[in-house]
Chain A
Amino acid sequence: MANLKDLRNRITSVQSTQKITKAMKMVAASKLRRAQEAAEAARPYAERMENVLASLASSMIGQVGGPKLLAGTGKDDIHLVVVATSERGLCGGFNTNIVKGARAKIASLIKDGKDVKIVTIGKKGAASLKRDYGSRIIKHFDMSHVRRLAYGDAGPITDYLLASFEAGEFDVCTLFYAKFQSALTQIVTEQQMIPAAFDADNIVDLGGAAYDYEPDETEILEALLPRNLGVQIFRSLLENAASEQGSRMTAMDSATRNAGDMIDALRTTYNRTRQAVITNELIEIISGAEAL
């Protein structure tokens, strides 16, 4: 039988754990609000950018010699998988889910005989991918110094991707991140970045008129496509940040609740044991008195 002192210690320790998870939940909730605002504020830009590019791209379809970022290299041999995760743990299934999605994609690409290279953003994903695909990781971006995500933070990643694409190090680039839907649900999203893919629905109806381009279409496309890559990366990082906080909030909420349940159960055991000890002592006294 567990003795009383042990039980008391257990209860105190679970109580202090509960305090921590509760505080983490609160912090995550306030960070989530900020991250969510940032993600929403960034949406108009990314959407407009996509609209313009979609209409530009549709006018370029079928033309030979379009920019490589749009048309691709014409090959499909080397795939680059960019996996964006968080820098910190304790956020439920957030990192695991993203990595799981990326892993499935990588495995199926390898099965199809493609060469796969991996770029990781954020420590957590890198750590768990390193075990199986360590040799395939060609670059890691550390985001731990970033406190508040600014557009400039996506710059190095974009520059690196563009440079290695120019150098012919990969043909197709896919990005994995978690799209924020609510604090409860985050959707792991796979987005093809290079060659750029667009929704045909996004094209703005001009009512029969055609766009004038200044300078010409090709030059605009060449200027816009790299910029679009940066915007897409920035947006996915923002979505990721919001998702991470949402996921952490939910995880910490249930951890707090579990700790509460545990404390209740421990307290019941504690009280029962205490009562048993008292009863025992009484029996000893009474039977001692009777024996006289």
Chain B
Amino acid sequence: MAEKLHFELVSPEKLLMSSDVDMVVVPGVEGDFGVLINHAPVVSTLRVGILEVHSGDAPDRILVRGGFAEVNPQGLTVLAEEAMPLSEVNREALEAQLKNAEEDVSDARDDDQLAKATKVRDRLVEILGVLDLAA
């Protein structure tokens, strides 16, 4: 495979990755799909899941949450609201956060606080769910 796919991973805060790779497996809402060079143009929203970047040896696995992927003739762009390499995800820390978040939910005094705490908790639950699947 001579030609490579141009892949960019962007979060609202910065450009996380920009390189030429062999294949990327994207966790779309309607199922995972692999993107190779000369893929037909697609726009798909993402679910919480693992993005796999294949380039040479073992694939890089990146946890993404929220956002969408766009394939056009220039390559693949993934816009993720949150993205972190799976190797950097610390399960214990996340579980500790989840525990805190659950306490916040039960301690919430008004609707505002409750909504905020629930949001934090749901996010952690989603991420942990994905980790369970990946393990």
Residues of A within 8 A of B11 (CB): 45, 151
Query: For chain B, what secondary structure do more than half of its interface residues adopt (helix, strand, loop), or is it mixed?
Result: strand
Report yes or no: B13 in contact with A204, Cβ–Cβ below 8 A: no
Contact of A214 among B8, B42, B72, B81 (CB under 8 A): B42
For the complex formed, measure the closest distance between the CB of B110 and the CB atoms of chain A, giving whole angstroms.
15
In the complex, A138 has a CB within 8 A of chain B: no
Contacts of A230 in B (CB 8 A): 12
CA distance A206 to B40 in the complex (A): 10
B72 touches A206 (CB 8 A): yes
**Quick check: is A52 within 8 A (CB to CB) of the other chain?**
yes
Q: Given the interface contacts A41-B15, A42-B13, A231-B12, does A204 sit within 8 Å of B74 by beta carbon?
A: yes
User: What residues of chain B lie closer than 8 Å to A206, measured between beta carbons?
Assistant: 41, 72-73
**How far apart are the CA atoms of A52 and B68 in the complex, in Å?**
10
Interface residues contributed by chain A, number (CB under 8 Å): 31
The residues of B that contact A168 with a CB separation of less than 8 Å are none
Contact A44 B15 (CB under 8 A): yes
6 example contacts (A-B, Cβ-Cβ < 8 A) are as follows A45-B12, A52-B68, A151-B13, A206-B72, A209-B41, A234-B12
A residues sitting closer than 8 Å to B (CB atoms) are 38, 41-42, 44-46, 48-49, 52, 56, 150-151, 204-207, 209-215, 219-220, 223-224, 227, 230-231, 234
CB-based closest 9 A-B pairs: A41-B14, A214-B44, A151-B12, A212-B42, A45-B10, A211-B41, A44-B15, A45-B12, A44-B10
B positions within 8 Å CB-CB of A: 8, 10-15, 28-30, 40-45, 66-68, 70, 72-74, 77, 79, 81
